[in-house]
Amino acid sequence: MADNILELKINGMHCAACSARIEKVVGSLEGIETCSVNLATEQARIQYDPFTTGLQNIQDAISGLGFSAEEKSEASERDLDSFEEKLQVIRSRLVPSFIIAMLIMVISMGHMVGISLPPQIDPIHSPLTYSLTQFLLVLPVLWMGRNFYLTGIPALIRGVPNMDSLIALGTGAAFIYSTWNLVEITLGIDRVARAHDLYFESAAMLIALVSLGKYFEAKSKVKTTDAIRQLMQLAPEEATLLKNGQQLQIPVEDILVGNHILIRPGERVPVDGVIIDGHSSVDESMLTGESLPLVKREGDSLFGGTLNKNGALTLQAEKVGEDTMLARIVQLVREAQGSKAPIASLADRISLYFVPTVMAIAAVAGLSWYFLGDAGFSTSLRIFVAVLVIACPCAMGLATPTSIMVGTGRGAQLGVLVKNGEVLELAGNISCVIFDKTGTLTKGAPALTDIITFGDFKEELVVSLAAGAEMKSEHPMAEALIAAAEERKYLIPESQSFSPIGGKGVEAEFKEGATSSHVYLGNVELLRDKEISGLTKDIEDQAENWAKEGKTVLYVAIDKELAGMLAVADPLKIEAAETIQQLNSMGLDVVMLTGDNEATAAAIAKQAGITRVIAGVLPDRKESEVERLQEEGEVVAMVGDGINDAPALARADVGIGMGTGIDVAIESADIVLMKGDLAGVITAIGLSRATMRNIKQNLFWAFGYNVVGIPVAAGILAIFGGPTLNPMVAGAAMAFSSVSVVTNALRLRWYQPDQDH
């Protein structure tokens, strides 16, 4: 099947029953491979065969359910604003609804708590005026809450009832019953008794309370998009283009690849590129989570959205528009927030049948109390309404996606990009973490780690001549020696001649004035071949100790005399040992995978605190080693640089790519550590565990609330002499059940990496 991915913005969903129904109907269409609908983000992700079905067929199926759908690309600019717009609409109706509802409450129930009413609206003296006043006041409340009826009743007629259907039925039944009593009062039938049997205040207060719950829910949803909103605000709107000696202010979207852009101190970088002039410190915290600014010089890369701190920079644009790192990160976070975790499947299945089941329970409870429980019609109606309005499918539908939205957003703020909800769930179940050695546990480049000089030879002379001897070599060791000399600001002399000695080292000649020096740099075999003096048992023992530590030993001889001994190694990253210790304290097995021989691998592993080492593994065998550990029952996370580790990253249950190989890592890894810092592994696993705990708390609350609330509303306590549940109390409980779930999810906004260890 030639599958395409279609992302749609769904309008009109109000609860988990809506999203579950869309998934079921669209998923049953011919040519649909998968359909996932996210209630929190109001988005659908559909995998389909374009030769069998198309966008129009899918949109028609969704429209037939009473919803509308448009391609996400068309709606993406409005995604963040939509929550704000809904919030404004709800807020504009909420305050007057509550004021009027409270007024109806005072009129209908004030006399019960000692509030004196004017004789004109007193239920005993003027039952008709009393009833008519409530009727006229409830009408504007119902009008402001008309969306419950405009969506709930058509959904009920189509046979796909949702939460709005429950509210419409409950408040509608209370309103119709009360209106019928008003008619009887007008006709003079038992006026005072009928006046005391009105539920206009219940209908009004239920609309107001549920609207309040929806307001808080919408307000909370706005906060769940904070991470994306903050990322999008990083990109400046204008930039300074350097052209023909002039500085021109242009919109960022007009920047072309190759343009030269001036970035002044305090300005944000508009696009990705490379510095061609200037140096400064740059704050990359919003992209990588790194709090300290990084020094940037000519030739270094810059990413759009980062902040130039204190020096003017000239940037040559390399990636613009949707190709910038910031745009790709925003897109990754959007996709992750719109995804689902497998743990949501139970709630989705229940939500599909939840509303019809609640309606059946409400009908059975009301009829049972009327016919079997000797309750009057008024009491039976109150129980019927209470069951309808206490049920909350929204809480179940929001339990998982809101936590994923906040969790993945928080990850982005900490420099950890999680691609989807499934990965977030899997990461919490990891039992084994495999680290590639080179470039992951180590810095990925050899460095001079130890220096010993002999006789009267000074360190500066030994290092300078060693670097000079290697200046014409392409060996990795040469880079380490040259970098060490430059770092120490030693002068590197130019050799007059250079000769590599296969498998042993190099020979170089240096001249200064009339004197010349022969320098030999290499292993112990080179010393013996060239009959270099000064090699003792103590020196050989020291060389052996270095070798056991995984270091390469280089001897430096000047004019046939041993001048010094150098150790070169690919050093561990500073945070490696602490990261391994923390992973062990979290109960995880840690494995190092490397192509090095066993002795070198053991030395590096010992420094890192790793006890389980798989050595001598070539890149093409890394994938099979991951598979072997999976067959042993491990849930495996593979941490690599995303280049030669791509197959192993893909094979692992969770592939974690280091930001140093960012382009490849984004493609091959499930989680990307933007900073390239190993501590990000702790953050990723800890955040996953915290998010899964949060989801389980939400699901427990959502299911527990409905399991307890519905029987209580149905009158189970009254069977044993307890009270029945007032519909207004039921409505308030329902309104705040969703709010509690979303509020709990928002706690993840303050997650810190050290919370799980």
The residues assigned a catalytic role are 436
Tokens of 417: 């990009």
Q: How many CB atoms lie within 10 A of CB 144?
A: 20
Give the closest residue to 626 by CA, choosing from 613, 636, 615: 636
Q: Is residue 244 classed exposed, middle or buried when 0-12, 13-18 and 19+ CB atoms within 10 A define those classes?
A: exposed
**How many residues belong to the chain?**
757
Beta bridge partners of 521: 506, 556
d(CA 123, CA 508) in angstroms, rounded, equals 112
Task: Identify whether the C-beta of residue 260 lies closer than 8 Å to the C-beta of residue 315.
Answer: yes
- ∠ CA 419-424-427 to the nearest 5 degrees? 115
Task: Identify whether the C-beta of residue 484 lies closer than 8 Å to the C-beta of residue 466.
Answer: no
- ∠ CA 724-727-732 to the nearest 5 degrees? 115
Residues 6+ apart with CB under 8 A from 117: 107, 110, 111, 123, 130
Amino acid sitting at position 636: V
Question: What is the DSSP-derived secondary structure letter of residue 572?
Answer: B
d(CA 125, CA 83) in angstroms, rounded, equals 49
Task: Identify whether the C-beta of residue 382 lies closer than 8 Å to the C-beta of residue 724.
Answer: yes
Residues 6+ apart with CB under 8 A from 346: 699
Task: Identify whether the C-beta of residue 738 lies closer than 8 Å to the C-beta of residue 217.
Answer: yes
Q: Is residue 363 classed exposed, middle or buried when 0-12, 13-18 and 19+ CB atoms within 10 A define those classes?
A: middle
Q: Compute, in degrees rounded to 10, the torsion defined by CA atoms 646, 647, 648, 654.
A: 70
Task: Identify whether the C-beta of residue 306 lies closer than 8 Å to the C-beta of residue 268.
Answer: yes
> b vs e for 475-514, b when ≥16 Cβ sit within 10 Å of the residue's Cβ?
eebbbbbbebbeeeebebbebeebeebeebbbbbebeeee
d(CA 555, CA 560) in angstroms, rounded, equals 12
d(CA 756, CA 60) in angstroms, rounded, equals 47
**Whole-number Cα distances in Å, 528 to 180, 525, 553, 555, 689:** 112, 5, 15, 11, 58
Helix axes 146-157, 163-186, angle to 10 degrees: 110
Pairing of strands 238-243, 32-38: unpaired
Helix axes 393-413, 679-713, angle to 10 degrees: 170
Q: What kind and span of H or E run contains 548?
A: helix 537-548
Residues 6+ apart with CB under 8 A from 600: 550, 615
